[in-house]
Every structure is written in structure tokens, then in C-alpha cells.
Amino acid sequence: MKIVRNMFSAVVILISCPVMLWAGEVDNLIIKGNELYQNNQFADAIVVYQQVLEKGYESEALYYNLGNAYYRTGKLGYAILFYEKALKLAPDDEDINYNLLISNARTVDKIKELPKLFFVEWWEVLVTSLTVNGWLTLLIIFYYLLLVAVGAYFLVKRFQFQHYLLYWGTVNIVILLLFSLFLFARISRDESFDYGILIESTVTAKQSPNEKSGDVFVVHEGIKFEIEDQLDNWAKIKLADGKVGWLPENCFEKI
């Protein structure tokens, strides 16, 4: 039995060692990147932060730092790109929202968004107020609260307390259904819409995915748009004001 336990421990160590080494490498790179950033070596910090991303690690702090570093090097498109990536993970973060606001104020294109119906805009604000993980966390919390209420209902013998638990359980079910709706709406929104940020200084959108087709409009670095379709290294984009055109895929990055 002791041999089996030792073998099991050895297997656990062998499995966990690569994970621990990976985490150690990531931590060391982040520390190095932060030190470079604090020493105003922004270009070098970007290289190190990108190495962290290449290892499969992501966080709002990493994206935020990358956005700051790109902003300091004058690459507005990439700065906005990584602020947007950070915002997807932490939509309520004040620093990310503020830096994104400042960066967008420096863009050339000032696109007025098409007005939306009140209830559509209200629904989008509500659904996007939390990330998928945020809605999932709330769903799990209220699920366990419901289990507690159900268990207490069968354990408690007092009718008055059972009546209160029944009421609480019913409210909990309604909340669970609402949170489930918000969760699936957020998942559907994230999977249905792709957005991009222009990283080139100036690009002319075309009527079709062909360099020889007619010009539609001109966009500049940092502008955000919806990606509606992709074909032969071209992407059909839609601006906030409803204008549609085709751009080469190498002039922008997906959020």
C-alpha cells in the first residue's frame, strides 16, 4: 500500500512539475516586463509581454500593460486593441475604461453610432455589464443558495419557516432563470460578433474584396469596426455609422 501511495505521489509530482515550471516562467517574464516598463524601456517591455501571450497566458492586467506600453511608443492602434482586450475581461475597470477613452479621443475618425431603440440599448448594457465568467459565477452562487433552501425546507419542521424557505426558493429559481438568460445572451453576443482595430495609419475601404474595386471610404489607425465576413485575405467591415466596405486582413487585428 505504501508503494502504491509513493507511486501516486510521484505521478502527481511529474504532472505538476511542467505546470509549475510554466507558471514560474510566466511570472518571471511578467516581472521582467514590468521592470522594463518602469524604466521607460517600453519597446523592450512589449517584446517581453508578447512572449507571455505566446505562452498562452492572458489577463486584463497583461493586456492593460501592453496597451500602456504601445501608447507610450506612439502605436495608437495597438494601444486601443489591447485596451479593448483588457476591457473584455474586466468591463468595469475604471483605469482601462479611462485609458481607452483617452486613446479613442486621439483617433482621426469620429464616427457617430447609429441610434438604437431604447430597450435594445438597455438590453446590451445589461448583458455586457458582466463577462461570461461573471454571469456564470452569479449563476453558481444562486444555484447553491437554492440547494441550501431546498435542503433546509425538508429539515425544518416549523411551518412558518418552511413557508419563508418556499418563498425564497421560488425567488431563487426566478433569479437563476434570469441569470441563465443573461449568460446565454452574453455567450451568443461574444460568439456572434467579431470586432477589429485598424493598426495601419490610413487604409481605403473597397466596394468588394479586390484592390481594383471602387473606393468606399477612408479609415485611420485605431478605429473600431465589426467584422461581418472574410474572403481571400479580405474582411467585410461595418462601421458604427452603418457604412460597409472591404479591408485587407493584414491592416487590422481582431479584438
Residue type, 136: L
Per-residue confidence (pLDDT) for residue 12, from 0 to 100:
42
39 three-state secondary structure = coil
The torsion angles phi and psi of 35, rounded to 5 degrees, stand at: -65, -40
Dihedral sign computed on CA atoms, order 110, 116, 87, 251: negative
Q: What are the φ/ψ torsions at residue 124 (nearest 5 degrees)?
A: -65, -40
| Topology match between the domains 2-105 and 194-254 | no
- C-alpha–C-alpha distance, residues 87 and 67, integer Å: 11
Domain positions in the chain are: 2-105, 118-192, 194-254
Considering the entire predicted model, what is its pTM?
Answer: 0.73
- Which stretches in the chain have pLDDT values below 50? 1-17
| Predicted local distance difference test score (pLDDT) of residue 5 | 43
Residue with cell 489607425: 221
Query: At residue 97, what are phi and psi to the nearest 5 degrees?
Result: -60, -40
Which CATH number applies to 194-254? 2.30.30.40
Domain 2-105: which topology? 1.25.40
- The single-letter code of the amino acid at 187 is I
pLDDT given at position 18: 57
- pLDDT at res. 9: 43
